[in-house]
Each structure stands twice: as C-alpha cells, then as structure tokens.
Amino acid sequence: MAYVDGFLAPVPRAKKAEYIAHAEKSWPLFKKYGALSMRECWGDEVPDGQTTSFPMAVKLEEGEVVVFSWIEWPDKETRDRCWGSMETDPAWAEMGAMGDMPFDGKRMVYGGFAPILSK
C-alpha cells in the first residue's frame, strides 16, 4: 500500500529559486530509491490562524513563505530504505548539511502517512 511523507517548511521569499534548485537536485535521489512522485508547493493563500495554522506550525517569520510538499512511495518499506540510505549513500552528503538548505530545517514539520482514501 502507498505511503506518503509530508513536509511544511518556512522558506525566505528571496530564496525561491534556490529552494526550487534544491528540490530539483533531490528528486533524482528520491526516485533512485523508489519514490513515485514529489510535489513542492509554494504558499499562495496560507492564512494566519488564531489557534493553529500552517504559518504558526513553522513559526513563519517576516519575508518567508510556507512551502507544502510531499513524496509518494509505493509502500512504507521503500520509504524506509530511502531514508536509511542517507547514512550510506554519499550522494545524499553532496546535497549539503541541514544548515546548507535554503530554509530553516529546524522549523520544518514533517511526518509519514498511510493513505486511507485515494480517488
């Protein structure tokens, strides 16, 4: 059964092109390890909330945009093998350290999800 990794990240507006380049560079590695698809979505209508919201979840700062992204896998085992490869495949190290990413990885929100409905 399919499996999905979901992510929210605060990205500086000024680093949109850099973020896209980073995502483009990562796709061949995810695909190599079995990912079926990857979507990167630049926040367009992402309202502030009073109790909870995407901006609150990533502690959005002035000049930043929330990016919502996900990777679809054929199953959880394939996904787990990919994440495990980050310890052994030097191609992942070439992507750079967490601090080299074009966003604040400490404020990224992520998780793995088992689909319960697909149309």
Compute the distance between CA of residue 80 and CA of residue 43 in angstroms, rounded to an integer.
28
Dist. CA 5–CA 79, nearest whole Å: 8
- pLDDT (tens digit per residue) in 28-78: 999 999 999 999 999 999 999 999 999 999 999 999 999 999 999 999 999
Q: Is the pTM of this model over 0.85?
A: yes
Domains of the chain and any CATH numbers: 3-113 (3.30.70.100)
Average pLDDT along the chain? 94
Strands 3-12 and 37-42: unpaired
